[in-house]
Amino acid sequence: MKKLGIITALLIIIVFAWFFLPMSANNASPKGSLEKLVLTGSSTVAPLASEIGKRFEALHPNVRVDVQTGGSSRGVNDARTGLANIGMASRALKVKESDLLSFTIALDGISIITHQANPVTALDRQQIIAIYTGKILNWKDVGGNDAPITVVNKSEGHSTLELFLHHFGLKNTDVKAHVVIGDNQQGIKTVAGNPNAIGYVSIGAAEYAASHDIAIKLLPLGGITASVANVLNHSFPLSRPLNLVTREAPTGTAKAFIDFARSVQVNDLIEAQYFVPVAH
Amino acid sequence: MSLSHTDQNLSLILQLCALIAAAVVLLILVFLLSESWPVLQHVSVWRFFSDDAWHPAQDLYNITPMLSATLLSTLGALLLSTPLGIASALFTRYYAPPALAAWYRRLIELLAGIPSVVYGLWGLTTLAPLVGQLHPPGVSLLTAILVLALMILPTIALTVDSALRAVPVAYHHSAAALGLSRWAIIKNIILPAAHSGITSSVMLAAGRAIGETMAVLMVAGNVVQHPHSLFASVRTLTANIALEMSYAMGDHRAALFVAGLALMLMVLLLVSSAELFKRRSLCLQIH
């Protein structure tokens, strides 16, 4: 009986400790010289940056990497005003931002995919727009079988959706989707299971699936084959760089972090998020 | 009668445990409210039901299509699996030979233990293409209902089984002594006696169906719209939260917590109506 009491009491303590643990972890006062590296900006880069940050912290115990989101423009602005040590932008710097320095850590590309059995081998820009806005509803209108098109779109907030809409000049409210998916794997499985579906996913994920006997096909865009290699050599149109931005040539910890983020040591983290690493 | 010292200690500890369990529920409610507060301050509750669509990025927050999808998929799954579950429980308890019943029960328990994502994967790769042959795109309300029904079937079968077990054996023996057939005993004695247990089992299953996320996310299609047919692609409240949460910021994020709050209220309503139902049927039995 006594044992039971002790166990219960322990359990209660654990529950309480669990409640207060995250709080105390946040409020932990810096011991010694704890250096803080603040990154703000694009929500596309942020998950990757925070993964890289965790690994960086493990290597540099006296550094804390703080990642905040708020869009590429905020990243650029914060880097310029010095609010952040490093800004994050999921695009190349604009001409009027040429006073800043950018360091590409990865490339993000997306590919239009269809079922392997679909006879359509290419679609042009206008056809893709017409399909996604519901103006073309049957594959026979673009040279395919007489079958209704199943349009697969991404759910709101995903960077792939953003890049896709931006590239084709669409608004999400214009898209007439039949299926909405979350991550790349779900998109690939949905298209592989439906001979009449069309969707788009990160190029890394699509290439991997297509080379592993999954029944999908990557459509070329503007005559250029959708492949990681073509994203790397910047010829594939539906891609963008993921950049770290600084005001001046980085020094000290910021430099160490940027060098680390561009090294082969983080390639597995980059690939885990279906981006294309630049370091080899 | 006074409690022994050890009993007093135990009672104190148990009270504390109960208090913590209750506090956790309350804290979750408070947490949901405080997280959804930022958007509720400048978007009236009414707009969550009257806006044109769900486009949080464009400041439109209508959650009714997802409410109807959640309700319809749950209802459909219950309609399919309640009769099957009750039939399966009756079979194991009254018709199957004991050896078969034991194995069958183990099989159902195994079915209850399969993770929902496995059901989802199966639904997406096998069931959805089949439904798609009937009517594209395949991922639809119907597929969601079928997967959900399969998932809650073991819940219903097992809990109804234990509700049947709770009926005193004496009822069965007395009725048999009166010369009633097995089916007549079940229909007129056992089922009415196990009535409240069966009802709460269905409510439990309904709760599970409402809360199911992963499997539904994979097979329902996730287009935000009021389902106009069984083959329409729909998005449930839970799927909506899971789809958008990791990328949502600001008002969008808070709006997702409002959806969570709506879910919590739905379950609360369900549980309290089940409780009310149980109490009333208990009263009827006594009077």
* Partner-chain contact A8 B17, CB within 8 Å: yes
Question: How many CB atoms lie under 10 A from the CB of residue A189?
Answer: 19
Q: Would the pLDDT of B247 be above 70? A: no
Q: Chain A partners of B236 at a C-beta cutoff of 8 Å? A: none
Chain A CB contacts of B16 below 8 Å = 12
Give the mean pLDDT of B267-284: 78
Joined tokens for residue A20:
């207060």
CA of A264 to nearest chain B CA: how many angstroms apart? 27
Put simply, the answer to whether B139 touches A190 (Cβ < 8 Å) is: yes
Rounded Cα distance between B273 and B200, Å, is 10
Strand partners, A37: A65
User: How many angstroms separate the CA atoms of B178 and B185, rounded?
Assistant: 10
Contact A122, A146 (CB under 8 A): no
Please tell me if residue A154 touches chain B, with a CB cutoff of 8 Å: no
pTM higher than 0.80 for the full model? no
Instruction: Note the pLDDT tens digit of each residue in B164-199.
Output: 999 999 998 999 999 999 999 999 999 999 988 898
Secondary structure (3-state) at A27: helix
C-alpha A235/C-alpha A49 separation (Å) is 26
pLDDT value of position B66: 94
* Inter-chain touch A193–B124, beta carbons under 8 Å: yes
Residues of A in contact with B221 (CB under 8 A): 178-180
Contact A40, A75 (CB under 8 A): yes
Tens digit of pLDDT for each residue in B57-96?
A: 778 899 999 999 999 999 999 999 999 999 999 999 999 9
Residues A153 and A161 sit within 8 Å (Cβ to Cβ): yes
3-class secondary structure, B60 = strand
On chain B, the residues whose CB falls within 8 A of the CB of A189 are 121, 124-125, 218
Measure the CA–CA gap between B162 and B36, rounded to whole angstroms: 40
Question: Are residues A95 and A67 in contact, defined by beta-carbon separation less than 8 angstroms?
Answer: no
- Candidates B4, B165, B144, B17; CA nearest to B68 is B144
Which helix (H) or strand (E) element contains residue B195? helix B195-211
Contacts of B121 in chain A (CB under 8 A): 189
Q: CA geometry: angle at A238 spanning B244 and A194, to 5°? A: 60
The predicted structure's pLDDT at residue B81? 96
| Nearest residue, CB atoms, B137 vs list A70, A158, A179 | A179
> Which chain B residues are closer than 8 Å to A159 by Cβ?
247
Are residues A225 and B168 in contact, defined by beta-carbon separation less than 8 angstroms?
Answer: no
Percentage of chain B beyond pLDDT 70 is 95
| CA distance linking residue B231 with residue B242, whole number of Å | 22
Segment B130-145 mean pLDDT: 89
Tally: H helices and E strands in chain B:
14, 2
- Give, as one character, the DSSP assignment of residue A178: S
Listed in order, the ranges of chain A carrying CATH 3.40.190.10 are 36-106+242-277, 108-232
Tell me the nearest-neighbour CA distance from A243 into chain B, angstroms: 19
Q: Is residue B214 within 8 angstroms of chain A, CB to CB?
A: no
User: Crossing angle of helices B250-286/B64-90, nearest 10°?
Assistant: 40
Spatial distance between the Cα atoms of B32 and A119, rounded to a whole number of angstroms:
50
How many whole angstroms separate alpha carbon A34 and alpha carbon B284?
A: 69
* Cβ-based contacts under 8 A for chains A and B: 100
User: What's A93's DSSP letter?
Assistant: P
**Pairing status of strand A101-115 against strand A276-277:** antiparallel
CA angle B120, B122, B126 (to 5 degrees): 130
Residue A84 CB coordination number (10 Å): 26
Low-confidence ranges of chain A (pLDDT < 70): 1-32, 280
Give chain B positions within 8 Å (CB) of A1: 6, 10
Give tens-digit pLDDT for B4-59: 888 889 999 999 999 999 999 899 999 999 999 989 988 888 999 998 888 887 78
User: In this complex, is the C-beta atom of B252 within 8 Å of any C-beta atom belonging to chain A?
Assistant: yes
A1 Cβ under 8 Å from any chain B Cβ: yes
Domain ranges of chain B: 5-42, 54-286
The C-alpha angle A83, A98, A228, rounded to 5 degrees, equals: 95
CATH class name, domain A36-106+242-277: alpha beta
Q: Which two tokens stand for residue A144?
A: 């395919």
Q: Say yes or no: A156 contacts chain B, CB-CB below 8 A.
A: yes
pLDDT of amino acid A22: 46
Does residue B228 contact residue B183 with C-beta atoms inside 8 Å? no
pLDDT of residue B282: 66
| B244 → closest Cβ in A5, A70, A155 | A155
- Select the residue from B10, B213, B243, B252 to test the A interface by mutation, using most A Cβ atoms within 10 A: B243
DSSP-derived 3-state class of residue B45: coil
Rounded to a whole number, what is the distance in Å from the CA of B137 to chain A's nearest CA? 6
Residue of A15, A179, A213 to mutate, interface with B, max B Cβ within 10 Å: A179
CB A71 within 8 A of CB A79: no
Chain A contact set for B242 (CB, 8 A): 182
Vertex B56 angle, CA A84 and B265, to 5°: 110
CA-based nearest distance B68→chain A, Å = 17
pLDDT on residue B155: 93
By DSSP bridging, strand A197-202 and strand A101-115 are antiparallel
- Of residues B109, B71, B83, B123, the one with CA closest to residue B235: B71
Q: Which residue of A has its CA nearest to B131?
A: A194
Distance CA(B69)–CA(B235), nearest Å, equals 6
Which chain A positions have a beta carbon within 8 Å of B14's beta carbon? 8
Does position B133 have pLDDT exceeding 50, yes or no? yes
Q: Tell me which of 3.90.580.10, 3.40.190.10, 3.90.550.10, 3.30.70.260 is the CATH number of domain A108-232.
A: 3.40.190.10
Q: What is the pLDDT of residue B237?
A: 94
Of the candidates B75, B74, B57, B54, the one whose C-alpha atom is nearest the C-alpha of residue B65 is B54
What pLDDT sits at residue A17? 54
Domain formed by B54-286, architecture: Orthogonal Bundle (1.10)
Is the CB of residue B65 less than 8 Å away from at least one CB of chain A? no
